Amino acid sequence: MTDDIAAELAAKFLAAPVVPLIEADDPATAVRIANALQAGGLDVVEVVLRTDAALDCMAAIVQETSGIIVGAGTVLTVEQAKAVAERGAQFVVSPGLVDDVARFCIDKNLPFFAGTMTAGEVQRAYALGLRSVKFFPAKLAGGVPMLKAFSSVFREMKFMPTGGVSADNLGEFLALPSVVACGGSWLTPKDAIAAGDFEQITKLAREAVELARAARP
């Protein structure tokens, strides 16, 4: 990723600081989900490596949509980080912090959101050179009060809370200046995908954009 794309990611987060997760079994469905999210105003998506077709799904969104920034999530190993980078991932998200994955992404200029939930993990991420991390699982790990405590000591660190975020608490997280964006699967419900109800996904995206605007006028 070039600095220009990093800047583009930051600009998109300013407009709509929400990252929907996409978990799909086939590339065509993944593209429809991404288009539905974009129609609702969300154009940064994270394709999670949790299905056999996940890499193909991510690559299809990269190739068949425009104006969408596509990241890869649930990246557990350096091998997976290499694979998603080769297939066009523009950012990488992990549930935890593996130093080798962090170093690979830093080396490739790929924005990397390592999962953290303790001060020790945030500090290790900081020492590795990361200035943005995922906060996971955000709700169970202490939610807004925990992030406030982190931000008082890690003043430069930005957080992407994910895990238990929904329309009910999105505004509370986004009210924190240290939150760069919130991630979550609530925008892409499995039952809507199974039913082919992509309009519901667009509605959920629109609702999230409105909530984000209210939290950050």
Q: Which residues bind ligand 3PG (CB under 6 A)?
A: 21, 48, 73-74, 136, 162-165, 183-186
Note if the bond before 137 is cis, omega within 30 degrees: yes
Q: Which of the following is catalytic: 46, 199, 207, 210?
A: 46
Active site residue 134: yes
Q: Which is nearer to ligand 3PG, 80 or 162 (CB)?
A: 162
Closest distance of CB 23 from ligand 3PG, Å = 9
Q: Which amino acid is at 58?
A: M
3-class secondary structure per residue, 54-67 = HHHHHHHHHHHCCC
Tell me how many degrees the CA angle 26-83-9 measures, rounded to the nearest 5: 85
Q: Which is nearer to ligand 3PG, 71 or 163 (CB)?
A: 163
Q: Which is nearer to ligand 3PG, 64 or 98 (CB)?
A: 98
Q: Which of the following is catalytic: 79, 82, 108, 134?
A: 134
Active site residue 121: no
The C-alpha atoms of residue 135 and residue 19 are separated, in whole angstroms, by 13
Closest distance of CB 71 from ligand 3PG, Å = 11
Partners of residue 88 on adjacent β-strands: none
Closest distance of CB 139 from ligand 3PG, Å = 7
Q: Which is nearer to ligand 3PG, 27 or 183 (CB)?
A: 183
Q: What is the DSSP string of 18-52?
A: EEEEE--SSHHHHHHHHHHHHHTT--EEEEES-ST
Q: Which two tokens stand for residue 206?
A: 């629109």
Closest distance of CB 21 from ligand 3PG, Å = 6
Active site residues: 46, 134
